[in-house]
Amino acid sequence: MTSTTETDRATSAPPASVSTGHARRWLILAVVALAQLVVVLDATIVNIALPTAQADLGFGNDDRQWIVTGYALAFGSLLLLGGRLADLFGRKPLFLVGLIGFAAASAVGGAAEGFGLLVTARAAQGVFGAMLAPAALSLLTVTFTDGRERGRAFAIFGAISGGGGAIGLILGGALTEYLSWRWCLYVNVPIAAVAVVGALLFLPRTEPREKGGPRLDVPGTVLSVAGLVSLVYGLGTAETDGWTSATTLGFIAAGVVLLAAFVLVELRTAHPLLPMRVVTDRVRGGAYLAVALIGGGMFGVFLFLTYFMSTVLGFDPLPTGVAFLPMIVGLMISAQLAPSLVNRIGLKVPVTAGFLIGGAGMLVFVSLGVDSGYWTHVFPGLVIVGLGLGLAIAPAFAAATLGVGREDAGVASAAVNTFQQIGGSIATAVLSALAAAAATDALVGVDPSDPAALLAASVTSYTTVFAWSAGIFAVGAVLCGLLLPHGAIEQDPDAAPVIAH
């Protein structure tokens, strides 16, 4: 828990660049929420368009994961840096750079005629998104300083963040089916343009700077980004080169060494990118692990279940997006119930139960076959997974800032989103490699030109992924059962809210 000094800092009034009574504060909320929508849409909108984009551009199954991973990896690995840059150069400048850059990268991706340019554009989206997201959260924090209004503002902001995934699924399906998969990227341009105009009109021109504030941790930044990219790239090459290849093992080993060096640097530097005290606390450490595993499970469901519904069930893009709604509804229902449970019995039981329920839903997907129907097999699994994820994710995000002083609240918020995105990136890379290996094994001794054999092999690869995802959730249940404490935990009401991207 916090020390006396930390508690004093946490309960002091935050520095305000915008007065609480500012007449335009709700317009600022609208601008920031619109920018947030751009970021969260891209977490799911491209998944629905991916089968169509793959057919159009002609890239293979072993490459498709990088369309998802390229964005999530760049976004997740640079979030901490984005938050620090906002502190150094100002929230409004970084907000505008992030918006404009994100729109430009989206336009390039939409016009891409090849796999390489599309992946590059997706990675660029992640880079600019990592600038945009922390700046948006910081702008809300300093705009709404009244406790009651701040709660309302962050509730709206959180609803946009949570609902953006569902909007992305449906919008991606509609745009792909009635226009083109390219519009799943182009759509960001007009939304970002409106947000840029709003930012220029309503955001304050200047911001007060605190003397002796944080400095840029260049060694920590380089080591963290290089380590994460190397680790995820190594895991991703396992799909094509195998787990024992020199490339795979070399990049994985380099990633582990670089990340270990990052931890050592952060323990010694005066202005760390990620203070180790933020992640070494037992409760917060358990929350970060939970968020990473949840991110991995969610990415796996969205990517591979999308392919099952399009290739096996024959769903067009729009019905595929709508088909995910039971999961989103289940998640929202259980997420609303979770806080009351946490207040009564603490974090351990709801989060652990959420992982177990989510794992049970994954086991339902393991039974999928070439003759499975949506209502008999997919729908029940989606509902169960959604209920489990909502029960786990809401308390896990809430626990991520427990006990942190105000000077660490921003980095704690950025860190939880980093863990979510990196967990998703690693899981996508590993699960894609496992899926490819399962498909290859299923085709041994059969005619590879037989469409029925190919379809059966594809289903085998998907169910293999779902079985491993069930294992991921089981690991999450065990770790959270061991790390999270019993009983209700008092949370600092002044700690910065944590928003999932």
45/83 Cα distance (integer angstroms): 25
pLDDT value at residue 356: 95
pLDDT per residue rounded down to tens, the chain (501 residues): 333 333 333 333 344 444 444 567 778 888 888 887 888 787 778 878 888 888 888 887 777 778 877 887 888 788 888 877 877 777 788 889 999 999 999 999 999 988 889 999 999 998 998 888 877 777 776 777 665 666 566 656 666 665 666 678 788 888 888 888 899 899 999 999 999 998 888 887 655 555 555 677 888 889 988 988 888 888 878 777 778 888 889 989 999 999 999 999 988 888 888 888 888 888 888 888 888 888 888 776 777 888 899 889 988 888 888 888 888 888 878 877 877 787 788 788 888 999 999 999 999 999 999 888 899 989 999 999 989 988 888 777 767 766 666 566 667 767 777 887 788 778 877 888 888 889 888 888 787 777 888 888 889 999 999 999 999 999 999 988 888 877 655 555 444 444 444
Q: How crowded is residue 285: how many other Cβ atoms within 10 Å of its Cβ?
A: 17
End-of-domain residue from the set 270, 294, 310:
270
Q: Are residues 285 and 330 in the same domain?
A: yes
Cα atoms found within 13 Å of the Cα of residue 248, Cβ hemisphere only? 14
Q: And the tokens for 35?
A: 């920018």
Q: How far is CA 166 from CA 37, 375, 476, in A?
A: 11, 19, 24
pLDDT value at residue 468: 92
Q: Are residues 200 and 324 in the same domain?
A: no
Place of tokens 């551009």: 57
Q: Are residues 250 and 322 in the same domain?
A: no
pLDDT value at residue 17: 40
Q: Is the dihedral of CA 377, 379, 380, 382 positive or negative?
A: positive
Q: Are residues 320 and 398 in the same domain?
A: yes
Domain assignment present for residue 223? The answer is yes
SS3 (DSSP) at 20: coil
Q: Are residues 309 and 414 in the same domain?
A: yes
Domains contained in the chain, number: 3
SS3 (DSSP) at 447: coil
379/496 Cα distance (integer angstroms): 36
Angle between helices 147-178 and 25-41 (to 10 degrees): 40
Residue 237: which domain range?
217-270
486/473 Cα distance (integer angstroms): 20
Whole-prediction pTM value?
A: 0.76
Q: Are residues 188 and 255 in the same domain?
A: no
Q: Are residues 46 and 62 in the same domain?
A: yes
SS3 (DSSP) at 205: coil
CATH number at residue 175: 1.20.1250.20
Q: Are residues 64 and 121 in the same domain?
A: yes
Q: Are residues 294 and 392 in the same domain?
A: yes
Instruction: Give the phi and the psi of residue 46 in degrees, each rounded to 5.
Output: -75, -25
Q: 359 with 388: CB under 8 angstroms?
A: yes
Q: Are residues 306 and 434 in the same domain?
A: yes
Q: And the tokens for 199?
A: 């930012």
Domain assignment present for residue 3? The answer is no
Which DSSP letter does residue 13 get? P
Domain assignment present for residue 328? The answer is yes
420/297 Cα distance (integer angstroms): 10
SS3 (DSSP) at 210: coil
Domain assignment present for residue 14? The answer is no
